[in-house]
């Protein structure tokens, strides 16, 4: 083929477009390094600022993801299972080599709000910067003061184990273009100061939507479906809007009790990843917990009138089921705690008739409660449920749950329950 | 109606109702008194036995749920004259004070060592979490499990 002028111009033009494209991409991806600073002297922070930072970090529950099991606080290395592989959290103690000791407050703010490390690398959105972008700089500076006055721990996180092709951090810049929106909180003058405080905490630091909002295939929170319910670590994070299956039974008072103690007798005990969340909130000041409850209550009940519904526990036993295999299983495995007359009731064990898991149309959380058990999230006197995974077969768990749902709630039986139990058991073993 | 269950390799016919906790059947009908009644609510672990190599609370397992899965109790590991490696390690470390929790402790630990003969100290602690001891011999119990693990890996 002869090389004509036209070919040449097309070629140059094509290269030009490609070049401009690459330049734009590089400009999007590029984030400058923020120079190291000497580790701040802890005495430069006032005790009021540190205390405020401690409460804000508690609202953000930083410690849960940034602490390994039995590991030192905030030193990272906790494995976080995501649909894209396992990520290990970073060390956020003020250690200079392995933590954030040499980070300036500006570098810290950029990392938390925009997911960019001090050296300019993009951070994975397991750090919920989709939410933290809304946090006020002044609050982040208080958290910075709190973290910088913790004990420095030398600890390097293991390398991430991501699915092939997902280890390219530059691609996160594209993810942020799609899902990270610079949305500052706007005060709603028509609402109370407390409501606005609650919304600020829920949307920002507390990052409730990180689990309670459904995610799209790329792992971003779905637009327009805020609080529509999601999945976290194999448990359903129920919707927090009016589609919540137990919405009619929640109010501000019960939300406060649940969030700050891990249990409300009219509902249930926080299970799965919600357990550590309530443990964190048990250390948050009462005013902020109340504000969170006020805001969540308004989202759940946009047009509530009257008092919340209470599900009474049925008296007596369903005669049809008496003598059945399932009734015998319930009697031998569950009744010691869950029978309406059991002594556990006086310790605040929620009645089965009121538990959201048993009332939900999706059996997932009820199955998980039986398979994994429920650890007392707050304090040592809270209800605790052992795991029944090794005592009972899939079939027996399905029969038991079917029995409990029929006996304690007015809902339709769950379909294909044994298959669901089998599937969730397999998931848990992975 | 009688149920048949396999305990420590032997078939047994039991007369108890299917909703009876396995613990009561083991102690009252089969006179296997290793497993103890502690809380009856799956919170202390004194009643721990094995169903197919897995440690379970026998107080919360209805005997009717056993089916054809085999059960093993402390008596299935060894005897006074010929203790198992783990039982011997508990003796050598003098891991029992009052001894009430020990049968459950041994069964819980045995399940771990069968799955993972060389556990780390953290893995041992994590695995033993469900079982409680009120006397405070925890550090001896941990040492006994470590000793058994060392003996097993030398022999294996």
Residues B36 and B98 in one domain: no
* Residue A161 parent element (H or E): strand A161-162
Per-residue pLDDT, averaged over B91-118, amounts to: 96
Yes or no, beta carbons of A332 and B19 under 8 Å apart: yes
Please tell me the CATH code under which domain A325-429 is placed: 1.10.760.10
State mean pLDDT over B68-95: 97
CB half-sphere exposure, A342, CA atoms < 13 A: 22
User: What are the residues facing A67 on neighbouring strands?
Assistant: A76
Model pLDDT for residues A36-95, shown as the tens digit of each residue: 999 999 999 999 999 999 999 999 999 999 999 889 999 999 999 888 899 999 999 999
pLDDT(B65) > 60: yes
pLDDT of residue A31: 85
Kindly indicate the confidence band of residue A324, based on its pLDDT and cuts at 50, 70 and 90.
confident
Domain membership of residue B35 as a residue range: 3-76
Pick from B45, B76, B107: which residue ends a domain?
A: B76
Q: Are residues B94 and B151 in the same domain?
A: yes
B-facing residues of A in 313-372 (CB < 8 A) are 325, 327-329, 331-333, 336-337, 344
Contact flag B17-A333 (C-beta cutoff 8 Å) = no
Q: For residue A69, which residues of chain B lie inside 8 Å, CB to CB?
A: 126
* Lowest-pLDDT choice from A162-171, A239-248, A250-259, A419-428: A162-171
Q: Answer yes or no: do B91 and B124 share one domain.
A: yes
Joined together, the tokens standing for residue A150 give 């913790």
> Does one domain contain both B46 and B25?
yes
B100, with CB counted inside 10 A (0-12, 13-18, 19+), is middle
Domain extent listing, chain A = 42-179, 193-300, 325-429
**B101: domain CATH number?**
1.10.150.120
**Pure H helices in A301-393:** 325-329, 335-338, 356-359, 364-372
The ipTM, to two decimals, is 0.91
Of the listed ranges A254-263, A297-306, A327-336, B91-100, the least confidently predicted one is: A297-306
As given in the structure block, the two tokens for residue A293 are 């409850």
Which among A331, A332, A337 has the least Cβ separation from residue B41?
A337
CATH code where residue B68 lies: 3.10.20.30
Q: Is the Cβ pair B18, A332 closer than 8 Å?
A: yes
Residue in B37, B42, B112 to test binding to A, most A beta-carbons within 10 Å:
B42
Can A193-300 and A325-429 be said to share one CATH topology?
yes
Out of 1.10.760.10, 3.90.100.10, 3.40.640.10, 3.40.47.10, the CATH code matching A193-300 is 1.10.760.10
User: How far apart are alpha carbons A341 and A345 in whole angstroms?
Assistant: 7
Same domain? B55 vs B93: no
Beta strand pairing status for A230-232 and B71-72? unpaired
In the predicted structure, residue A320 carries a pLDDT above the cut 60: no
Q: How many domains does chain B have?
A: 2
Last residue of a domain, one of B46, B76, B106: B76
Touching check for B132 and chain A: CB below 8 Å?
A: no
Q: Cβ of B17 and A328 within 8 Å?
A: yes
Report the pLDDT value the prediction gives residue A179, as an integer from 0 to 100.
Answer: 81
Predicted TM-score (pTM) of this structure:
0.88
pLDDT for B150 equals 95
A395, with CB counted inside 10 A (0-12, 13-18, 19+), is middle
| Final residue of a structural domain among B50, B76, B102 | B76
Is A384 part of the contact surface with chain B (CB cutoff 8 Å)? yes
**Is the pLDDT at A158 greater than 80, yes or no?**
yes
């Amino acid at each position: 083929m002869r090389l004509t002028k036209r070919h040449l111009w097309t070629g140059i033009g094509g290269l030009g477009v490609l070049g401009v494209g690459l330049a734009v991409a590089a400009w999007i991806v590029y984030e400058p390094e923020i120079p190291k600073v000497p580790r701040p002297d802890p005495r430069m922070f006032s005790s009021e600022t540190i205390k405020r930072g401690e409460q804000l970090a508690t609202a953000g529950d930083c410690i849960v993801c940034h602490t390994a099991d039995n590991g030192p606080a905030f030193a990272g290395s906790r494995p976080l299972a995501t649909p894209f592989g396992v990520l290990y959290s970073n060390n956020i103690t003020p250690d200079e080599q392995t933590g954030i000791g040499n980070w300036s407050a500006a570098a810290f703010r950029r990392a938390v709000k925009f997911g960019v490390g001090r050296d300019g690398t993009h951070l994975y959105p397991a750090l919920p910067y989709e939410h933290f972008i809304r946090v006020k700089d002044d609050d982040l500076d208080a958290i910075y003061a709190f973290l910088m006055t913790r004990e420095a721990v030398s600890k390097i996180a293991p390398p991430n184990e991501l699915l092939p092709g997902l280890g390219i951090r530059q691609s996160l810049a594209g993810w942020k273009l799609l899902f990270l929106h610079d949305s500052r909180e706007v005060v709603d003058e028509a609402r109370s100061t407390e409501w606005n405080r609650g919304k600020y905490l829920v949307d920002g630091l507390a990052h409730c939507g990180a689990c309670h909002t459904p995610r799209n295939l790329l792992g971003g929170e779905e637009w327009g479906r805020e609080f529509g319910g999601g999945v976290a670590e194999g448990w359903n994070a129920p919707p927090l809007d009016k589609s919540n299956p137990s919405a009619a039974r929640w109010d501000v008072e019960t939300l406060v009790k649940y969030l700050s103690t891990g249990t409300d007798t009219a509902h249930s005990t926080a299970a799965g990843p919600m357990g550590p969340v309530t443990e964190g909130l048990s250390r948050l000041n009462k005013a902020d917990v109340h504000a969170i409850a006020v805001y969540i209550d308004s989202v759940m009940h946009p047009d509530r009138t009257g008092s919340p519904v209470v599900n009474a526990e049925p008296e007596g036993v369903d005669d049809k089921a008496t003598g059945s295999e399932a009734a015998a299983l319930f009697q031998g495995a569950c009744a010691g705690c869950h029978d309406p007359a059991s002594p556990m009731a006086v310790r605040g064990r929620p009645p089965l008739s009121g538990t959201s898991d048993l009332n939900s149309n999706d059996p997932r959380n009820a199955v998980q409660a039986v398979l994994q058990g429920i650890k007392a999230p707050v304090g040592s006197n809270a209800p605790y449920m052992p795991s029944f995974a090794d005592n009972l077969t899939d079939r027996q768990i399905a029969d038991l749950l079917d029995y409990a749902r029929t006996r304690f709630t007015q809902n339709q039986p769950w379909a294909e329950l044994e298959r669901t139990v089998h599937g969730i058991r397999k998931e848990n073993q992975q | 109606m009688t149920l048949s269950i396999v305990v420590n390799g032997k078939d047994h016919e039991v007369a108890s109702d299917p909703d009876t906790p396995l613990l009561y059947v083991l102690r009252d009908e089969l006179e296997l008194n290793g497993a103890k009644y502690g809380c009856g609510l799956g919170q202390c672990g004194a009643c721990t036995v094995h169903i197919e190599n897995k440690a379970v609370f026998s107080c919360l397992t209805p005997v009717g749920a056993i089916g054809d899965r085999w059960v093993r109790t402390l008596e299935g590991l060894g005897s006074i004259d010929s203790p198992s490696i783990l039982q011997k390690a508990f003796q050598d470390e003098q891991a029992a004070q009052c001894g009430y929790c020990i049968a459950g402790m041994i069964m819980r630990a045995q399940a771990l060592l069968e799955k993972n003969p060389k556990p780390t100290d953290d893995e041992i602690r994590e695995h033993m979490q469900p079982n409680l001891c009120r006397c405070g011999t925890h550090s001896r119990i941990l040492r006994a499990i470590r000793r058994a693990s060392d003996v097993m890996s030398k022999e294996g």
